Homo-oligomer: A and B are copies of this chain.
Amino acid sequence: MPEPFAFTIEAVDGETGARAGRFTTPHGAVQTPAFMPVGTQATVKALDPDDLHAVRAQIILSNTYHLSLRPGAAVVTAAGGLHRFMAWDGPILTDSGGFQVFSLGARRTVDDDGVTFRSHLDGSLHRFTPESVIALEEALGADIIMPLDECVALPAADATVRDALYRTQRWLERALSAKRRDDQALFAIVQGGLSHALRREGAAFAAQCDVPGIAIGGLSVGETKAEMDATLAATTEQLPADRPRYLMGVGAPEDLWACVARGVDMFDCVLPARVARHGGLYTPEGRMSIGNARYRDLHAAFDATCGCPTCRQFSAAYLHHLYRTKELLWYRLATIHNLWFILRQMEEIRGAIPDGSFTARHAAFRARYRTADRTAAGDARAQFVASRGRR
């Protein structure tokens, strides 16, 4: 792994294989397992960098597809790169935009060389190739960058899944050849749908590539939680232990625990912000709806045990009022609360691995936390894929 990147495993849970480690980037180290708040358009929705520090975010994610359309990679380069543009001095990962482009459905056509698509904003015609995406990501300047991949919505025919896997592999090789900057870590992405055989093949391929980290894509896109778990297990079993594993687009609190148990080290998901937008706030008992009438007269913290900047300063009754009146302040306060909750879960997970309490704490979490969805975190993502939305 080229300097300054380094990944060290500090502890492995004997029962599950859950790993606690540390991934070093040019903008600082990330304690893993880590959750990355999503700042699609160079802003984690409603938050500023001080808010991100306040919730103790270690690393954030942004998106090449969105940034290439607005403001354009050249603007970000002229700003001195994405870190300076958005005034965030910690590590950043840029997704390639493969997921977004393939979510465009009829608005895109894929060929072996790349993908042609129409912008969701104005219908203008664009083309991504493995090489052009690397050029965009080098212009943006994130610490970790992702190659263009082909992401398939599930369920899908076997041949479609296989073609996408192999195309993703060929595109990774081209991305590696195109890459010029030494201060960015290009991860591989493993596709393969729900086929354990294809996932194992994809994992083995990624393992023999010269990449400092390996992402698992194409999950949480409409399959059940059981399907996701089995497929994930088949994948991570084949991955080398010495590189970080990033499960893309996951997840809900229950998924974070379950997937760490499968050996995942990094996550990203828009769920904390989306849940907030719809009035949802996380608690150790599950997701609650602040719009519920019982909060109207609760003149105390929404969650007295929480400790987040929102719960420290404001009452549940005030949050209920802000949500019901659709005040802008709601979105910020709720996103702070939900990210705080998720990031504190990750801290508990990290702490539990070295001290051998991971399985017991995972069981305690499951006994207490009522999950909102029966399907994978992908409920919302699957709808999104179907609706050609934008994460």
Contacts and interface: CB of A to CB of B under 8 A. Distances in A.
Interface residues of A, number: 36
B332 A75 contact: no
A317 B47 contact: no
Nearest to A71: B321
A294 to B, nearest CB: 13
B314 A79 contact: no
A332 B328 contact: yes
Contact of A321 (B41, B80, B317, B332): B41
B45 A327 contact: yes
Given A71-B321, A313-B87, A314-B87, A45 B79 contact: no
A85 B87 CA distance: 32
A36 B296 CA distance: 28
Contact of A327 (B43, B87, B317): B43
Oligomer copy total: 2
Nearest to A331: B328
A20 B85 CA distance: 42
A86 interface: yes
A79 B324 contact: no
Contacts of A317: 71, 75, 78-79, 85
A41 B325 contact: yes
Contact of A332 (B48, B86, B324): B48
A71 B331 contact: no
Contact of A86 (B43, B87, B318): B318
A42 B317 CA distance: 12
A331 B331 CA distance: 12
A76 to B, nearest CB: 9
Nearest to A322: B43
Nearest to A300: B79
A42 B313 CA distance: 15
A297 interface: yes
Interface string A59-89: 0000000000011000100111000011100
A333 interface: yes
Contact of A43 (B78, B320, B324, B329): B329
Contacts of A71: 296, 317, 320-321, 324
Nearest to A49: B313
A299 interface: yes
A45 B328 CA distance: 6
A41 B323 CA distance: 11
A70 B315 contact: no
Nearest to A299: B79
A182 to B, nearest CB: 25
A46 interface: yes
Interface in A321-357: 321-322, 324-325, 327-329, 331-333
Nearest to A314: B87
A78 B48 contact: no
A78 B314 contact: no
A75 B41 contact: no
A389 to B, nearest CB: 15
A328 B80 CA distance: 24
Given A86-B318, A87-B313, 14 more contacts: A41-B321, A43-B322, A43-B327, A46-B329, A48-B332, A49-B313, A70-B321, A70-B324, A70-B325, A71-B324, A75-B317, A79-B318, A328-B328, A328-B332
Query: Lowest 6 CB-CB distances: which A-B pairs, in order?
Result: A46-B328, A71-B321, A79-B299, A41-B325, A43-B329, A43-B327
8 contacts: A41-B325, A42-B318, A43-B329, A71-B321, A85-B318, A87-B313, A328-B331, A328-B332
